[in-house]
Amino acid sequence: MIDHFGINCADWERSKAFYDKVLGVLGFTRQMDYQVAIGYGTGGKPDFWIADMSAGEAAGPNRETHFAFQAADVDAVQAFYDAALAVGAESLHAPRLWPEYHPGYFGAFVRDPDGNNVEAVFHGAAPA
């Protein structure tokens, strides 16, 4: 069900040191590092992300959380997106390939009624 999730961090340097240490002892390491966001996991797949809250628009005390749900295929990602818009969700990113994440990453992002960034993702899409 959950593909990955992420949180925002107010003290970026302290948060990086904290998660490097505590996740390291559990066997999880940095799988991707974009300088403003780091994904932790194993085997090349980041399952948990931290992001530098100061790197982008400050979201305040109720800053958004990010959750990505697994989708069976690109049609399911599109159906998720269409259903979300039909019930009034704000579109953040329409369904598309995200090659900057990895080849075959197909996702759509919406904002839920509480302001959270919610995504549906399929990892096996054919490159365009």
Helix (H, G, I), strand (E, B) or coil at 101: coil
Question: 38 Cβ partners below 8 Å, 6+ apart?
Answer: 16, 19, 30, 32, 46, 49, 50
Q: Under DSSP, is residue 54 helix (H, G, I), strand (E, B) or coil?
A: helix
**pLDDT score at 112:** 86
pTM (predicted TM-score): 0.79
Q: Can you give the pLDDT of all 128 residues of the chain as single tens digits?
A: 899 999 988 899 999 999 999 999 899 999 999 999 999 999 999 999 999 988 665 444 556 789 999 999 999 999 999 999 999 999 999 999 999 999 999 999 999 877 889 999 999 999 87
Q: Which residues contact 9 (CB under 8 A, 6 or more apart)?
A: 15, 16, 50, 51, 52, 53
Alpha-carbon span 122 to 72, nearest angstrom: 6
Contact (Cβ atoms closer than 8 angstroms) between residue 16 and residue 38: yes
Dist. CA 60–CA 68, nearest whole Å:
22
Query: Tokens 């302001």 label which residue?
Result: 115
Distance CA 123, CA 98 (A): 10
Domains detected in the chain: 2-122 (3.10.180.10)
